[in-house]
Amino acid sequence: MSSSDNTISRRTLVGTLGAGLAAAAIPSAAQAQASTAQPVADPTSKYPKPPYTSPFQPWPGLASKMTPPPDHGETSYKGSGRLLNRKALITGGDSGMGRAAAIAYAREGADVAINYFPSEEPDAQQVAELIRKAGRKAVLIPGDLREEVFCLKLVSQAVSELGGLDIVVSNAARQHQMESILDMTTELFDWTIKTNMYAPFWIIRAALPHLKPGSAIIATTSEQAYDPAANLYDYAQTKAATMNFVKSLAKQFGPRGVRVNGVAPGPIYTPLQISGGATEEHWRNFGGKYPLGRAGQPAELASIYVQLASQDASYTTGNIYGAGGGDGQP
C-alpha cells in the first residue's frame, strides 16, 4: 500500500469515526430535550375548574389538606441547571408560589432556605424532602415575620447554613376578605401590614450586605396592586406598596448589580384562600369569571420565578411579571 493510500485510509477512518460520534451524540441531545419537554395542553382544561369544594381551614392552612391539593410542580417541573450552586431564601416557602419556586430552584441546582409559620411544619417537611431529592441542601426556618428580631435571625441563619445568599424571594403574605372597613380591627390591619410590608423591609435590609453583583430579589405582588377588590382593602394596598418597592429598590440597587423584580399573580389555588383569604361564596367560583375559566396553579408561575433569578434575565430589573389568567394586571 502506498503512503497516499495510507493517508486516505486514515482520513477515511477518522471521518467515519467522527460521523459516528456525531450520530451517537444526536440521540443524547434529543433525550436531554425530551427530558424537559412538556406536552402541549389546553390551558382552559389543564387543571380543575370551579366550583371548588376544598373545605376551609384555620389560618394559615395546609396545602396537603386541600382537596384536590394544589400543583406546585412536584411531578412536572424539570430543571436544566439554570441556577446551579445559587443560594436562595424564600419566605412562605411551604405552599403556594413560594413552594413552587423552592421546588423549581432546587431542580435548577440551587440550595434553598424556606421560611414558614410554625404550624405549617407538615407542608414545609414535604418541601424539604423534594429539595433533598433534587440533590440540594434544604434549610427550614420557621417563625413569625411580624417580629423584626426573627426577620434578622432568618437572614443570618440562611446565610450561615447555605454558605451565602444571592436570591431573596419575598413571598409570604397575609390576606383576609372583609366586606366593610367598619368590621376591620386594628389588630387585623396591623397583622397584614406587618407581614406584607414590614417583613420585606427588615429582610431585604438585612440581606443586602450579603448580596453580591448578580444577585436577585423577587417579590410576590398581586393583580390587587392594580385593580383592588372592595373587600381586600388592607391586602390590596400592601400589594401596591410591594409593586412600588420593586421599582424603587431596582433604581437604588441597580448600581450595585442587584436586580429587583416582582411577580403579580391573579387568582391562584393556594391555602391562602381557604384560611380566611376568601369567603366561601368567592372560593366556590374562584377564577371562574376569568378568560381561562379557572384559578391558576402555583406550578404555572414557577418558571417566572426561575427566569427572574437566572442570569438570562440580567437586564431585567424594576419589572413586574403578570400571571393573571387573561384578566389580571399588569
At 19-42, the pLDDT tens digits run 444 444 444 444 545 566 788 999
List, in order of start, the domains of the chain with CATH numbers.
51-323 (3.40.50.720)
* Cα 68 to chain centroid, rounded: 20
* Residue-level pLDDT at 280: 86
CB 70 within 8 A of CB 270: yes
The residue assigned the cell 433533598 is 132
Euclidean distance between CA atoms 266 and 275, whole angstroms? 18
CB 93 within 8 A of CB 99: yes
Residue 83: which residues within 8 A CB-CB, separation 6 or more?
A: 105, 108, 109, 110, 167, 306, 309, 310
Residue (of 318, 202, 310) closest to 250 by Cα position: 318
Euclidean distance between CA atoms 146 and 187, whole angstroms? 12
* SS3 category, 6: helix
Give the amino acid at 245: F
Tens digit of pLDDT per residue, the chain (330 long)?
544 444 444 444 444 444 444 444 444 444 545 566 788 999 999 999 999 999 999 999 999 999 999 999 999 999 999 999 999 999 999 999 999 999 999 999 999 999 999 999 999 999 999 999 999 999 999 999 999 999 999 999 999 999 999 999 999 999 999 999 999 999 999 999 999 999 999 999 999 999 999 999 999 999 999 999 999 999 999 999 999 999 999 999 999 999 999 999 999 999 999 998 888 889 999 999 999 999 999 999 999 999 999 999 999 999 999 999 998 788
Euclidean distance between CA atoms 271 and 280, whole angstroms? 13
* SS3 category, 251: helix
CB 110 within 8 A of CB 139: no
* Residue-level pLDDT at 279: 87
Cell of 87: 443560594
CA neighbours closer than 13 Å in the CB half-sphere of residue 36: 14
Residue (of 179, 160, 38, 67) closest to 111 by Cα position: 160
Euclidean distance between CA atoms 143 and 154, whole angstroms? 8
At 251-300, the pLDDT tens digits run 999 999 999 999 999 999 999 999 988 888 899 999 999 999 999 999 99
* Residue-level pLDDT at 153: 98
Residues catalogued as catalytic? 235
* Residue-level pLDDT at 28: 47
* SS3 category, 300: helix
* Residue-level pLDDT at 35: 63
Euclidean distance between CA atoms 313 and 320, whole angstroms? 13
pTM of this prediction exceeds 0.95: no
* Residue-level pLDDT at 276: 87
* SS3 category, 305: helix
The answer, yes or no, to whether the previous bond of 209 is cis (omega within 30 of 0) is: no
**What strands lie across the sheet with 167-170, from one edge to the other?**
138-142, 111-116, 87-91, 167-170, 216-220, 259-265, 320-323
Residue (of 154, 258, 145) closest to 209 by Cα position: 258
Residue (of 135, 248, 157) closest to 210 by Cα position: 157
Neighbour tally for 312: CB within 10 Å: 11
